[in-house]
Chains A and B, each alone.
Chain A
Amino acid sequence: MFQEILGIIAIFLLAVVLAIPLGKYIVKVFKNEKTWSDFIAPLEGFIFRISTIDPTEPMDWKQNMKAMLVLNGVFFVWAMLLLLTQGIHPFWNPDNIAAMEPTQAFNTAVSFTTNTNLQHYSGEASASYLTQLLVFCFLQFVSAGTGIAALALLFQGLLLKQSTTLGNFYNLFLKSCTRILLPISVVIAIILLTNGMPATFKGAEQVITLQGDTVSIARGPVAPMVTIKQLGTNGGGYFGSNSTHPFENPNYLTNMVENFAIILIPIALVFAFGFYIHRPRLGYAFFCVMTLLFLLFVGISVSQEMGGNPMLAKMGIDITAGNMEGKEVRFGTAASSMWGVSTTSTSNGSVNSMHDSHMPLSGGVFILDMMINAIYGGVGVGLINFFVFVVIGVFISGLMVGRTPELLGKKIEAKEIKIAALIAILHPMLILVGTALSSHLAAGNGGEVGYGGSAQWLNNPSFHGFSEMLYEFTSSSANNGSGFEGLGDNTPFWNIACGVVMLMGRFLPIIGPLAIIGSLAAKKSVPQSAGTLQLDSYAFSAVLLSVIIIIAALSFFPALALGPLAEYFMI
C-alpha cells in the first residue's frame, strides 16, 4: 500500500521537476530564440514554402483565429474523408475494416480535431491502420499543436502594449508540433517500445490458446499513437479499452511513464507562462492554485478507492485490496486513481481503469475535475480556460481594493468582462443543457418514466445512469474524451449532440479569451503602484480558488447532488 502511494508521488514529482526546464525551453521556442532543436528549421522552412505561408507575418487576433479555424476545418474534412472511405483504401488495412457510419464518422472527426478524442468506436474493430496513423495519430499531433499555439498568442498578448498584432499562428502551430511535441514523443515512444508495446503493420495475429481455441489478437502501430495521445492531452486510444489494454499499457513502468506524459506539458506550460512574461512567481502561484485542487482530488479518489466498497464488505467479501472492480491488477487502486484525476484534470481522456466502476465520490471528483477543466488542463487550452477565471478574479478583487481592475497593467473593462462572462457560462450551459436533454429523453423513453425507465442507451438506470449522461456531456464539453462507459453512446443522438458540444466547447473558449487578449494588447499599460494588486499574492490566489469553486461547484452542485452525491449517500 505504501509502495502504491510512493509510486504516484514519484510520477507527480518527476513531472514537476522536469516541467521547469521544459517550460524554459518552450519559452525559447515561442520567442524564436536559439535552441538545440534549430536543426529542424530547414524542415519547417520547407513546409512553409510549399504551403506559401510567411511565418514572420504579424497577424492581429482575428487573423490568427481565422488561420486557426481554416486549418482545423481542413483537418476535419481530411478526417471525414478518410473515415468514410477507409473500406476502399488500397493499403494499411490488413484486417479489411469497412467505412464508418456517417454520424459516427462525424463524431469521430470532430472528436479528434477538437483534441477531445471521445471514441464512440473501438479502434481495433472500426479503424484501419491507415486511419489510425493518418487520421488519429496525425490529428493528435496537430490538435495539440493548435492548443499550444493559441496559448502562445495569449502569452504574447499579455506582454504587448498598444499593439494590434499578436504573432503568427502558423509559425507557433508548426513549431509547437516540431519542436515541442515531436522530440518528447520520440523519447517516450522508445521507452514504451522497449517495454513491449507493439508497433507493426502486420494484421491481427491468429493464436491457438492452451484450450485449443483460435483467438484473433489485434495489433498494429500502437506505440507512436499511445505516445502522442498522452503527451498532447488527447487520449484517443488505439484499442477500445484504451490504456487498460496490455498492448497500450504493458506494465507498471509504462503506466508511470504514460501518466507522467499526461501531466508533463500541461504543467510545463504553466511554468512557461511565468517565464514568458518575466514573472516566474506568477507562474508558480498559478501552479500552486491548480496543484492544491489537483492534490485534493487525488487524495479523495485514492482514499475512496483504497478504502474499497463497503457494500461488498457487508456481504462478507474481503476488500483489503481496495475497490478493484474495473481496474487492472498490474496497476492497483492508487495508480488508477492518480491516472483518473490526471486524465480528467488535463482533458486527456485516456483511461487505465473503468471510471464507471470507481466509487461514487471518486467518479464525482473526475466529473468535477472536467467541470473546472483548468487544473493544468489540456495542452494550451487548460491555461486559456484558467485565464478566464483570472480575468473574473482580477475584476472582483480589483473592486475590493478600490481600483479599476487591471491584469498585468491592462485595465479590465466592460468589454473584457462581457466576453469572460459568456465563456464562463458556456461550459455549464453545454453540460447542463445537454444532460437535461438526455435526461428528458431517458425519462420519457418507452413510456416508462423515471429511474426505472429503460432508455435504450442506459444500461444502468438510477443515479448511476444520470452520472453516465452527465459524464458524457462534461467530457465532450471539456474536450476530455473519456467516458463513464456503461452508456450505449454510439447512437445518432449521442454522436451528433456530443459532436456539436465538442465543437463549441473547443473553439469558443479559444476565440473568446483571444478576443480579450486582442483587446488587452491594444491597451496602454498602467504602471504599478502601492494600490496595484499583486497577482502572485496569497490573497489573490484565494480569490482565484474561490472563483473557480464558485463557478464550477455552484453551477454544477444540483447535478452532482443527483448523480455521484446521491449514490454516495446511498451506500
Chain B
Amino acid sequence: MAKSTQTGLFEKALVKQAIKQSFIKLNPMVMIKNPVMFTVEIGTLVMFLVTGYILFSGDTAQGSFTYNLVVFLLLLITLLFANFAEAIAEARGKAQAESLRKTREETPARQVSLSGEIKTVSSSQLKKGDMFIVEAGEIIPTDGEIIEGLASIDESAITGESAPVIREAGGDHSSVTGGTKVLSDKIKVMVTTHPGESFLDKMIALVEGASRQKTPNEVALTILLAGFSLVFLLVTVTLKPFADYAQTPITIAALISLFVCLIPTTIGGLLSAIGIAGMDRALRANVIAKSGKAVETAGDIDVLLLDKTGTITIGNRKATHFFPTDGVDSTGFARKALVSSLADETPEGKSIVELARSQKVEVRQVDASRWRMIKFTAETRTSGIDLPDGTRLRKGSVDAIRKLVECAGNQVSDRTLTKVEEIASNGGTPLVLSENEKVLGVIQLEDIIKTGITERFERLRRMGVKTVMVTGDNPLTAKYIAEKAGVDDFIAQATPEDKLQYIRKEQGEGKLVAMMGDGTNDAPALAQADVGVAMNSGTQAAKEAGNMVDLDNDPTKLIEVVEIGKQLLITRGTLTTFSIANDVAKFFAIIPALFIASIPGLQSLNIMRLESPESAILSAVIFNAIIIPLLIPLALRGVAYKPIGAGALLTRNLLIYGLGGVIVPFIGIKIIDLIVGLFV
C-alpha cells in the first residue's frame, strides 16, 4: 500500500496553528457541543469572578489571591489542553487534506462545446455535464468519466502508486480523478461533479472537522459522560451543605477543583480528537470515507464479501503443469504448447509461454508472418495456430477439443479424460492441446492465491469477521479455491443479483456486511452493504453507491478499514475507563484535604501523604490538566488493536487502562505534590 507522506505528530507549523485554535475554541457557543468541557468552562468563569472579587475586595475568606489565581489558571490550562487536542487533530487532518488539495489547483481545461468547438477555460469553471479533452502530458482538471478514447494515466498524485493505470471509455474503468496526469493518448471526458463537490472536496471538508458529524457510538458515549458529570456535579454541590453541617467551611476553589477533577475531563477533552484522528487514519490508508459513521461501522463488520480475482488470487489463471498423453515426450509437448500460444495475447496464453520457457524450451526464430493465428471464437471455442508446414495446433476445453477430434474420427484417451477430471476437481482449469486433431495432452491452469492472504483471513476470523469469496467460477473450482485460501464461504457463478441476495440474507440475520466493488453492476450491492468500498478506478455509479472510496484500488484494503474502525472504538473505550479510574486517586487526594481542619481523623485517608491541603488540591488539578496533552499522541495514533478474541482483549485493556488508571494518578499526584511542595 502506498502511504502518503507521514506527518509527524507535533509538527511546528501545525502546533502553532493548533495553539491559536485552542483559544478560539474557548467560545462558549463552540464549547457547548462538548458537555463535559463546557461545565469546566463554567467552573473556570466562576473562578475568574472569585479571583477578581478577592483582588478588589481583599476578602480572603475564600483563600489567598495567589491560590485562587493559580486554580483559575490551571482550569484555563485544562480547557486549553482539551481544545489543543481537538485543534491538533484537525490541523493534522487539514495538512493531509492540503496535500490532496494541491492536486486540485487551478488547471486549464480544454472544454468541448456541443457543437464541437474547443475553448480553454479554468478547471473551476467546469460544471457537471460539461465535456473536455485531455492529451498526453496534461493534467486532468476535474473528476469525470471517459466517454471517448483510452489513455494511460499516472495517478501517483493521489494514490502514491507510481505504475500508470489504463482508463478507457465504457466498462468499469472509465472514471478519472482530477489532479492526475495523462501519460499517453487522448481522451474525452464528461464532468461528473459540481465544482467543489468532488470526493476529494468532500473528504477535505470531513477531515478538517467542519462537517464532521458525531458517530452513533460517540453520541452514546457523550451521553454517558454527561451522566457521569451530572453525578459528580451532585456530589460536589451536596458537599457544601454536608460541610456546613460538619462546621467545615469549604472554599469555592476547592469545590470547583474537586468537581473538575472528578468529571471525566480526560476523555471529554480527547473525544473529538479521537474521532478526527480516526478519519485521518483512514485517509492515510488512502481510503476516503464519506462519513465517520462508515469508519465506525467498519469496526462492527460481521461478513466481508471479496472478489476472487485480484483480491484472493493474482489477476488471472496461470498455467502450472503440462501433462502429455501416452507416447508424447514432455519436452516436445512443452514446445508445442509454447508454439500454440506464441501469438496468444490472453493472460492464460502468456502464462503458457512463461511455463514452457521456465522448462528451458525455446523455438527457433521463425517468420511469424507465415503463421496463421486462430483466435478464440464462440463457435469453435478453441484457439491456436496453423503452421506453414500445415500443422494445426488447437487448445481449448475438453468438450471443444473432443468435438474437433471425434469429427476427424479420432478418440480422446481415457487417460486424458481422467487427467482432465482430476485437474478440475482440484480447482484447476484443464486445457486440452491437440495437433492435427489428435490429443497431445493437457495443460493445467490454476488460480494463484496471493501470498499472505490466508494469514489475513485468519486474522479476520479471529476478529470475528466471516469472509466470503465472490467468483464467476463453477462451484467445484470455487470450493477448491475457497478452501485453499481459507475463506469461510463462497458464492460461485455469482451474478450481481446473487451478491445483493447474499447481502440481504446476512443482514436479515442481523449481521453487518461489507463489500468492495468497482463495476456499475456492483452499485446496488454496494449501496445495500453496510460498508461499501468502491475503487477509485471504478465507475461513478459505484463510487456514488458506496460509502468509502479506496484510492489505491486495493481490494484487501477492507481489512485495514475494519481495524481502523475497531481502533476508533477501543481508543474511546480505554480512555473512558482510564479517565474514570483516575477518580479513585483524586478522591484520596482531595477529600482529606477538604476536611483536615475539622475532622483530623480523615487524615488517615491521605494515603499519599500529600504536603498540605492546598498542595493536595493543586496537585490533583495539575495532574488532571497535564494528563490530557500526555495522552494526545495515544488519542491521535489510536490504541493498538490485537485480534486475540474479545475476552482476551478486554482483559488486556482492563489491566492496562483500568488498573493502570487507578495506579498512575497515585504516583503522578505524589510526584507533582513533591514539586508543588517546594513552592507552596
Binding site for B on A (CB under 8 A): 392, 395-405, 409, 412-414, 416-418, 421-422, 424-425, 428-429, 432-433, 435-437, 439-440, 442-443, 449-451, 453, 463, 466, 524-527, 529-534, 537-540, 542-543, 546, 550-551, 554-555, 557-559, 561-562, 565-566, 568-570
* Residue B83 at the chain A interface, CB threshold 8 Å: no
- A457-B591 Cα distance, complex, nearest whole Å: 28
**Which residue on A lies nearest to B301, using beta carbons?**
A531
Question: With an 8 A cutoff between CB atoms, is B300 at the interface?
Answer: yes
In the complex, besides A395-B224, A451-B246, 10 extra interface pairs with C-beta distance below 8 angstroms are A400-B650, A402-B568, A417-B224, A436-B237, A439-B245, A442-B245, A449-B244, A527-B510, A554-B587, A562-B242
Instruction: Pick the residue among B221, B247, B580 that contacts A399 (CB under 8 A).
Output: B221
Task: List chain A residues, Cβ under 8 A from B462.
Answer: 530
Contact B247 A450 (CB under 8 A): yes
Give bound CA distance, A525 to B511, whole Å: 9
Chain B residue nearest to A540 (CB atoms) is B650
Tell whether, in the assembled complex, residue B570 and residue A400 are in contact, meaning their CB atoms are under 8 Å apart: yes
Residues of the A chain whose Cβ atoms lie less than 8 Å from the Cβ of B240: 436
Docked-complex contact A534 and B646, CB < 8 angstroms: yes
Closest B residue to A461 by beta carbon equals: B245
B216 is an interface residue with CB less than 8 A from chain A: yes
User: Which residues of B, 281-305, contact A by the 8 Å Cβ criterion?
Assistant: 296, 299-300, 302
What B residues does A424 contact at CB under 8 A? Answer: 227, 231
Q: In the complex, what's the smallest C-beta–C-beta distance from B567 to chain A, in angstroms?
A: 7
A179 to chain B, nearest CB (A): 35
Cβ of A396 and Cβ of B573 under 8 Å apart?
A: yes
On chain B, the residues within 8 Å of A417 by CB distance are 220-221, 223-224
A403 to B296, CA, bound (A): 9
Chain A residue at minimal CB-CB distance from B642: A402
Pick the residue among B238, B511, B647 that contacts A432 (CB under 8 A). Answer: B238
Is B82 part of the contact surface with A, judged by Cβ < 8 Å?
Answer: no
- Answer whether A554 and B230 are a contact pair too, CB < 8 Å, given A400-B570, A400-B577, A543-B654: no
Q: Number of B interface residues, CB 8 Å?
A: 76
Contacts A400-B654, A402-B299, A403-B299; is A561 near B465 (CB within 8 Å)? no
Q: In the bound complex, do residue A531 and residue B465 qualify as a contact, i.e. CB atoms below 8 Å apart?
A: yes
What are 5 of the A-B contact pairs (CB < 8 Å)? A429-B231, A530-B464, A532-B464, A534-B646, A566-B595
> Known: A422-B227, A530-B461. Is A429-B234 also a contact (CB below 8 A)?
yes
User: Once bound together, how far apart are the Cα atoms of A205 and B408, in whole Å?
Assistant: 125
Return B422 CB to nearest CB of chain A, in Å. 36
Say how far A541's CB is from chain B's closest CB, in angstroms. 11
Nearest chain-A residue to B653 (Cβ)?
A400
Query: What is the 8 Å Cβ interface bit string for chain B, positions 585-616, against chain A (1 contact, 0 not)?
Result: 00100010001000101111100000000000
Query: For B650, what are the chain A residues with a Cβ–Cβ distance below 8 Å?
Result: 397, 400-401, 533, 537, 539-540, 543
B242-A436 in contact (CB<8A): yes
Contact among A409, A443, A561, A568 for B591, CB-based, below 8 A? A561
The verdict on B663 contacting chain A, using a C-beta distance below 8 Å, is no
Q: Which residues does chain B contribute within 8 Å of A551, judged by CB atoms?
A: 231
In-complex Cβ contact of A527 among B246, B302, B576, B577 (8 A): B302
**Is B241's CB under 8 angstroms from A439's CB?**
yes
Are the C-beta atoms of B247 and A428 separated by less than 8 Å? no
B572 part of interface (Cβ distance < 8 Å) = yes
Query: In the complex the two chains form, what is the Cα distance from A540 to B605 in whole Å?
Result: 30
Contact among B247, B461, B591 for A557, CB-based, below 8 A: B591
B231 touches A555 (CB 8 A): yes
Residue of A nearest to B651 (CB): A539
- B48 contacts A by Cβ under 8 Å: no
A532 to B230, CA, bound (A): 31
Decide if the interface of chain A is mainly helix, strand, loop or mixed.
Answer: helix
- Tell me the bound Cα distance from A542 to B647 in angstroms: 11
Q: Which of B224, B242, B302, B654 contacts A539 (CB 8 A)?
A: B654
In the bound assembly, the distance between CA atoms of A551 and B230 in angstroms comes to 12
- Inter-chain contact B241/A554, CB cutoff 8 Å: no
B552 at the interface (CB under 8 A from A): no
A442 to B246, CA, bound (A): 10
Say yes or no: is B463 at the interface (Cβ < 8 Å to chain A).
yes
Cα A412 to Cα B569 in complex, Å, equals 14
Interface status of B226 (Cβ within 8 A of chain A):
yes
> Distance (Å) between the CB of B540 and the closest chain A CB?
31
Q: Chain B 611-651, CB within 8 Å of chain A: the 1/0 string?
A: 00000000000000000000000000000010001111111
**Contact yes or no, A531 B464, CB < 8 A:** yes
| Residue among A396, A412, A443, A451 making CB contact with B577, cutoff 8 Å | A396
**In the complex, are the beta carbons of A532 and B646 less than 8 A apart?**
yes
Q: Mark B458-470, 1 if CB is under 8 A from A, else 0.
A: 0001111110000
Residues of A within 8 A of B242 (CB): 435-436, 439, 466, 558-559, 562
Alpha-carbon separation in the docked complex, A538 to B604 (Å): 33
Nearest-CB residue, chain A, relative to B221: A399
Which of A428, A466, A527, A533 touches B231 (beta carbons < 8 Å)?
A428
Q: Known interface pairs A399-B569, A399-B570. Does A561 touch B605 (Cβ–Cβ under 8 Å)?
A: yes
Q: How far is the CB of B251 from chain A (nearest CB, A)?
A: 15
A409 to B511, CA, bound (A): 10
B302 and A526 contacting across the interface, CB-CB below 8 Å: yes
Bitwise, B558-569 to A at CB < 8 A (1) or not (0) is 000000011111
B246 touches A558 (CB 8 A): no
Bound: A417/B296 CA distance, A:
18
Contact B235–A562 (Cβ < 8 Å): no
Q: Which residues of B contact A526 (CB under 8 A)?
A: 302, 510-511
How far is A281 from B422 in the complex, measured between Cα atoms in Å? 50
Residues on the B chain within 8 Å of A436, using CB: 237-238, 240-242
Contact B649 A401 (CB under 8 A): yes
Closest 6 CB pairs of A and B: A531-B464, A399-B573, A421-B227, A402-B566, A569-B601, A529-B464
Asked if B155 is at the interface (CB within 8 A of a chain A CB), the reply is no
Tell me the nearest residue of chain B to A443, going by C-beta: B245
Q: Say if the beta carbon of B239 comes within 8 Å of chain A.
A: yes
Cβ B566 vs Cβ A403 within 8 A: yes
Q: Which of A524, A537, A539, A566 contacts B599 (CB 8 A)?
A: A566
Q: Who on chain A is nearest to B262 by CB?
A: A554
Instruction: Pick from A402, A425, A428, A439: contact of B565, CB below 8 A.
Output: A402
Report the bound CA distance from A414 to B218 in whole Å. 9
- Cβ of B574 within 8 Å of any chain A Cβ, yes or no, is yes
> Is the CB–CB distance between A397 and B223 below 8 Å?
no
The answer to whether B246 and A466 have CB atoms under 8 Å apart is yes
Assembly CA distance A296 to B648 (angstroms): 27
Residues of B within 8 A of A570 (CB): 601
Contact A527 B570 (CB under 8 A): no
Docked complex: B202-219 residues within 8 A CB-CB of A: 216-217, 219
Q: Which residues of B contact A433 (CB under 8 A)?
A: 234, 238
Query: Cβ of B570 and Cβ of A401 under 8 Å apart?
Result: yes
* Chain B residues whose CB sits within 8 angstroms of the CB of A396 once the complex forms: 224, 573, 576-577
Question: Which of B224, B241, B247, B464 has a CB less than 8 Å from the CB of A437?
Answer: B241
- Provided the pairs A402-B567, A440-B245 are in contact, do residues A538 and B463 lie with their beta carbons within 8 angstroms? no
* Chain A positions within 8 Å of B216 at CB level: 404, 413-414
Residues of A within 8 A of B117 (CB): none
Bound-state CA distance A150–B16 (Å) is 58
Per-position binary interface string of chain B over residues 15-33, scored 1 when its CB falls under 8 Å from any chain A CB and 0 otherwise: 0000000000000000000
Asked whether B389 is an interface residue with its Cβ less than 8 Å from the other chain, the reply is: no
User: Nearest Cβ distance between residue A448 and chain B, in whole angstroms?
Assistant: 10
